[in-house]
Amino acid sequence: MSKVLLLKSIFFFTFFVNLTNFAISQDSFSLRGQFLLDKKVVIGAVVTVYDGKEIVTQTATNSIGKFWINLSLQKKYVLQFKKQGIPTQKVVISTSVEEMKGDYLKSKVVVFSLSSTKQSKEGPGTDDAVASFMVNKNGILERDHPEIPEIAEVKDDKIVKVEEVINDLENKTEEIITTQIPEDEKEVQLADYSALKRKKDSIIYWAERKAELIINDALKESDEITKEAARNASKTVAAKKNELKSEAKIKEDLKELAIEEKPFLEREDIKSYRAKLDELNKKQNLSSKDSIIYLETSILFKDEMVKSARLQLEIDKLSAKTREDSLALQQRENEILMAEQEIEDAKGEIEVQKLVIRQKNTILFFTIIALLFFVLLSVMVYRSFRNKKRTNAILEKNNIEIAKKNKKILDSIRYAQTIQQAILPIKSTIDKHFDWFIIFQPKDIVSGDFYWFNHFEETGKSVFAVVDCTGHGVPGAFMSMIGNRLLIDAVKEKEIVKPIEILEEIDARLRIALMQDQTANNDGMDICVCTIDYLENNKCRIDFAGAKRPLFYSDGKDGEMKYLKGTVRGIGGKKRLRERAIKPFEENTLILEKGEMLYLTTDGFFDLISPKGKKFGRVNFMDLLEEHYKKSLPEQREAIMDALQIHKGSEFQIDDITILGVKL
C-alpha cells in the first residue's frame, strides 16, 4: 500500500473526537483502540484482556470497531479479539515504562490492523500473538517492531511470476513433443532476479533456446525415422538384390521351376520389371520410397515367374505316365507352393513397412506443425513483450513527469493550507469566553468553508459566523480569504454587531470586490451569523441572521432541538437574481439559559451521500443533536464524527464540512 493510501485508511478509520492529548493518572493507562481485519472495521468483536492467565476485563467493539479500556501501568497484557466467523486474533500490550516526560502518560487511538491469514490460539499465551505493542518513553502506545518492507514482497512476487511463465512454457513444450534435451540445458536458474534481467528478455530468451533445441531434436528424429524405414526396407531389398542381381540366379530359378527361359524373358512385362530393377540397382543409396518400389517390382517379377511355373506344371501333369514323373511333378509343385508363400510373406512385409512409414510421417508432420506454431507463438509473445516494454517505458517517463508536476501542485496547495489555517480563529482566544468544538473537514486540502469569531471586551458581546463559499478546493479557498477580509472590515473595523447589518455590509462589499454589477461573475457565499450577549439571571441573548443557512439550538424548557431558518437570499451570486426585488435579511432573537447549545453549520454534512444514494439531511442531523446535546462537548463531537463515517461508508466526500458547536 502506498503512503497516501495508508494515510487515507488511518484517517477514515481512526479520526477520533478530541484532537488534543488527554491526561490520565500516573498509575492507570487509558487505551482507545480500533480493531480492523484485512483493513475492514470489525463490529461486535469481543475484546478479552488477560493478565497472565487471569481475565482482567472484557468489552466489545462498537459500530465503527472502537473500544475503550483502562489498564494498569508496569504490566504486560494479552488482548484477544474474537468473533464468530472470523479467525481469532491476539496482540501483546506492554504498559511498562522506564522513564516518563511530564506528570502523566498520554494515550491515543491505536489501530489494531490485523490480517485474517494469521490466526491465534485462544487463551492467554503470547507465542502466537500476531502483533506486539508497548508504551514508549513519551507514554504513547506504539508497535514494538517494524513492518517488512513492501519492496521485498514486490521483488519476490516478480520472481515467482517469471518462474511461473517459464514453467508454463516448458510444460507446453513437453506436451507438444517429448525430446531428449542436454543436461546442461534442462533447468533454468532463477535464484537471482538481477541475473535473470540481464539475460536479454528473460522469458523470450529461454523460449527461443527451448525452441532451438526442440527443432534440432525434431530434425534428428526425422532423420532417424527415415533411416530406420530405409534400414527396415533395405534388409528385404538386400536379400532380393542378392537373389535377382545375377543372370545366373534368374536362369537357375527358371530351371528349377521348369520354365522355358527364352519365351519368359522375352515377355514385355518381364522386360519392364527387369529394367526397373536394373535402374534401382545402379543407385548406391535407396530412399525409403525407392526401397518400397524395388520390393514391389521384385515381387511382381517373382509372381509372374510362379504363375508361369504353375501353368507349366499343369501342362506337364497331363503328360505324366510313370511314378517317377508323378514324384518329380509333386516336388515341383512343392517348390511352387514355397515360392508362392514367400511372395505372400514379402507382400505382407511391404504392407507393414508402408504402415510404419505412414505413421511416422504423420507424427513428423504434426510435430513440425506444432513446432512452427510454437515458434510463431514465441515470436508473437516476443513482439508483444517488446512493444509492452517500450510502452511501459514511455508511460513510466510520463508518470515521472506527472508525479513531479503533481508534487509541485500539492506542495503549493499544502502551503496554501497553512495560509488558510492562519486566518481561522485561534483556539485559545475562543476558549477564554466559551466551551466549544469545531468539525472542520475540507473535501480537498484547502476549503471553501471557514468559521469566524470576534469578542468585544468593552461590551462583552461575541460574534460567531460560519461561511460556505462557492466551490471548494483552491477556488473555494480564494473566496474564503475574501470572505474573511470582509468580516474583519465589517465587524472589527466598523464595529457592526447586528447580524442583518453584517450581512448587508458583506453583500455590498462582495459585489464591489468581484465587480458583479459589471461582469457575469456569479460567486457568492452562504453565511449564518449570531451575536451573543450575556444578560442577568444566567440568561443569554442571541441575535441571528442567516443567508441561506439556519441556526440550530437546544431548548431546555421543551427538552428538544429547534432551529431558526435563514433568509432565502445569498451573499453576492447571480446577477439575474439580484436584478429582481431583493429580499431583505431577517433577524431573529432568542433568550436562552446558560448551558444551552448553539450549532452553526454549512450544508456539507446534510448533503453527504451514503452508498445507497441517500443524503444525511436536516431531519437526521437534528435527531442526532437531540440524542447527544446533553453530553460533554468531546462526546458530542465524537458522536457526530461517528455518524458521518457510518453514513458515508465507502463513498467519497462531495463537499467541505464545517460544524461549530457553542455552549452558552
- Side chain identity at residue 17, one-letter code: V
pLDDT at 533: 93
State the Cα angle at 64 between 60 and 65, rounded to 5°.
40
Q: Nearest CA to 67 among 89, 82, 88, 45?
A: 45
Which single residue is written with the C-alpha cell 517517463? Answer: 397
What are the C-alpha distances in Å from 159 to residues 190, 205, 309, 383, 509?
Answer: 8, 16, 80, 22, 66
C-alpha count within 13 angstroms, C-beta hemisphere, residue 443: 23
DSSP state of 569: -
Task: Look up the pTM and report it.
Answer: 0.46
- Side chain identity at residue 492, one-letter code: K
Dihedral pair phi/psi, residue 12, rounded to 5°? -70, -35
pLDDT at 214: 57
pLDDT at 46: 93
Decide if 71 contacts 28 (C-beta within 8 A).
yes
What are the C-alpha distances in Å from 584 to residues 537, 589, 590?
Answer: 34, 16, 20
Q: How far apart are the first and last CA of the chain?
A: 46
Left if phi > 0, otherwise alpha if psi is -120 to 50, otherwise beta: which for 15? beta
Rounded Cα gap, residues 72 and 94, in angstroms? 10
State the angle between helix axes of 150-176 and 202-244 in degrees (0 to 180), rounded to the nearest 10.
Answer: 10
pLDDT at 505: 93
Rounded Cα gap, residues 52 and 392, in angstroms? 56
Helix (H, G, I), strand (E, B) or coil at 5: helix
10-residue mean pLDDT profile of the chain (664 residues): values are 45 38 53 86 92 90 88 89 90 79 61 82 83 81 58 37 50 48 44 42 50 58 58 54 58 72 78 80 74 80 80 76 78 79 78 80 89 90 89 90 88 86 90 93 90 93 94 86 92 93 92 84 91 91 94 85 91 68 86 93 90 90 92 94 90 91 93
Rounded Cα gap, residues 302 and 339, in angstroms? 8
pLDDT at 468: 93
pLDDT at 332: 78
pLDDT at 178: 45
Helix (H, G, I), strand (E, B) or coil at 519: coil
The full DSSP string for 244-311 is HSSHHHHHHHHHHTT--HHHHHTSHHHHHHHHHHHHHHH-SS--HHHHHHHHHHHHHHHHHHHHHHHH
Q: Which three cell numbers stand for residue 476?
A: 473555494
pLDDT at 213: 62
Which stretches of 451-601 are DSSP H helices? Answer: 473-487, 499-513, 575-578
Neighbours of 72 (CB within 10 A): 12
Rounded Cα gap, residues 532 and 34, in angstroms? 39
Neighbours of 498 (CB within 10 A): 15
Contacts of residue 225, defined as CB under 8 A and 6 or more positions apart, other chains included, come to 360, 361, 363, 364
State the Cα angle at 593 between 592 and 598, rounded to 5°.
60
Which stretches of 177-201 are DSSP H helices? Answer: 193-198
pLDDT at 518: 81
Rounded Cα gap, residues 54 and 475, in angstroms? 59
State the Cα angle at 388 between 384 and 391, rounded to 5°.
140
- Report the helix count and the strand count for the chain, using DSSP H and E: 15, 23
Helix (H, G, I), strand (E, B) or coil at 192: coil
